[in-house]
Amino acid sequence: MDVRLAPVSVFFMAYIISFAMMSCSRIVVKMFYELLNFDGSHSANVFIYGAKEAGVNIAKALRVNLRNHYRLRGFIADEPELINKVMMGVKVFPNDETLIDVLNDRDVHTIIISPAKMEELKRSDMADRLLAHNIKLMTAPPLSEWSGQTLNRTQLKEIQIEDLLQRNPIEIDIHKVASHLEGKRVMITGAAGSIGSEIMRQVASFNPYKLILVDQAETPLHDIRLELQDRWRDIDAETIIADISNATRMEEIFKEYKPQYIFHAAAYKHVPMMEDNVSESIQINVYGTRTIADLAVKYGAEKFVMISTDKAVNPTNVMGCSKRICEIYVQSLAKKLQQKGGHVTQFITTRFGNVLGSNGSVIPRFRDQIQRGGPVTVTHPEIIRYFMTIPEACRLVLEAGSMGNGGEIYIFDMGKPVKIVDLAKRMISLSGRTDVKIEFTGLRHGEKLYEELLNVKELTKPTYHEKIMIATVREYDYDEVKERIQKLIDVSYTYDQMKIVSAMKDIVPEFISKNSCFEALDKKPD
C-alpha cells in the first residue's frame, strides 16, 4: 500500500487557517455580546464642537470603542460651509444663540471640545454660555497622543479653569537658551517651590553639567530628588537643605560647587503672612538675596537671574516692598560692577504676576472650597489679577536670562487681567455644582484691588521677544543702597515691626501701606 505523507506546508496552512477562524469567532462572539448588552440607557448624549478632521476622529472613536458610554447626537461648527450638513449620520449645528435650545431638544448635557477648537473656546463667550446652562465641557487630546490611535475613555477629561485661562504656547529661542545652560553648573534657590521646581525641569532638558538645588523645605525637596531619579538619572544633581539667609552655610555651598548660573527663586511670597511677619520678609527676601548676590560675585558666577513680582511696583504691602528692595540692591550692584569693567557677574531681574496653580494660590484654594461645598471666599467684588501658567513664566525667565547683559528688569506680557469673582463663578460652573455660594470677605492686609507691572514713572523698551519688555527704572548708588539695606537688616533683628517698616519706607518712598496698621507711618504730621 502506497502511503504518502502530506507536505509540511499543508499542515502549516491548516494551522494558520484554524487560528484565524478561532480568532474571528471570538471577535464575533464578543461583538454580539456587547451588542446584546448595550441598550444605551447608560450612555450620555453628546455633541462634538468641531466638525473638521479632529472632531470627526473623536466621533469615530465614540462609535467604535466608546459607544457604551457616549452617543453622538450632533456636531457644532463655526464654519458656514459645514452648518446643516449631515456627517456620520448626525447634523452639524451652528454655534449661535439657538444652540442651547438645540441641546435641550436632544437631551444633550455634554459637549466634547475638539483640540482644534480650544483656542476658539477661550476667546469667545461660548464656555460661559454653556456652563450657565449646566452643560458639561470635556476635552480630548490630539490624535498624536491617543493610545495606539485609539481614544480611551480616561483620555476624555472635564475642562478645568486652567484650560480656559491658558494662552497660546510661548516660543523661546531654544538654541540661545541651550548655549547658556548646556554643560554649566546651575544653582536654583527655592528649588522645591512652584517656580523653582519648574525652572529645574526646564533647565534639566538643556543638559547642564550639574544642578545645585537649594531649599529649606525638606519634604518638597525630597520629592524633587525622587523626581530627578525617575526622570533625569543621567544628570548630576545635588539637593541641598539650606537657609539662604545663613551666609556661612551658603558660602560653603558656593565654595564647593562654584555655580556659573544662578536662578534665585527663594522668597516668602504671601502678602498677609508677611504683613504679620515683617522681620522674616527682610531676613529671607532682602538679606537672603543680598547674600546670594554677593556670593555670586565673589565666586565668579556668570549670571544671576532673580525672580521678582508685580507686587514690587508701587508696593502697598511688606512683601512687595521687600522684593522692590531686592530689585534695587541687585540693580545697583550690577551698575557698580559694570563701572569697574572686566568680566563681571550679570544680574538680571524678571518681574511677573500670579502663576496658575502655584502653592497656596487662589485656584487650588477655590477648588478645595468648592469640593467642600463652599462658600468660595473672594476678598472684593472688583479685585483683578494677571495670571500666567508656571511653565510659561519659567520659559520667559530662561529667555530673559539668556538675553540680559546685566542690570535689566524684564517684565512679561501677562495678557488680560482676570476678575477674581468671575474666576470663582467659572470654577463653580465647571464643577457642575449649583449650591456653592460666593462670600466676600474684604481686602486683606496690604492687598491691592489690582497689580501693576510698571511704576507710572517707568517706561519700557522692546526686546526681540514680543512677550518680554525691559523696564527703564530709576538707578541707585550702590554704596548708599548697601548702607541703608544694612541698617534695615540690623533693625529687622529688633523684631520691632513699626521700626522695620519705617526703614523700608525710607528706602522705597512709594511704599504706601493699604488695609494695614502700617498706614499710620504714611500720615504726614500737621
Catalytic annotation, residues: 311
Degrees to nearest 5, angle at CA 156 with 370 and 170? 80
In 95-234, at which residue ranges do the beta strands (DSSP E only) sit?
110-113, 136-139, 157-158, 185-189, 210-215
The C-alpha cell at 358 is: 502655584
Q: Is 185 helix (H, G, I), strand (E, B) or coil?
A: strand
Pick left, alpha or beta for residue 141 (phi over 0 → left; psi -120 to 50 → alpha; otherwise beta): beta
Quick one: which H or E segment has residue 71? strand 70-77
Evaluate whether 77 touches 92 at the Cβ level (below 8 Å). Answer: yes
Under a CB-based contact definition with an 8 Å cutoff, are residues 462 and 411 in contact? Answer: no
* 8 A C-beta contact, residue 212 and residue 240: yes
Cis bond upstream, residue 375 (ω within 30) = yes
C-alpha to C-alpha distance for 457 and 74, rounded to whole angstroms? 55
Burial (Cβ within 10 Å: 0-12, 13-18, ≥19) of residue 456: exposed
**Nearest to residue 224, comparing CAs of 238, 209, 206, 234?**
238
CA distance 251 to 292: 9
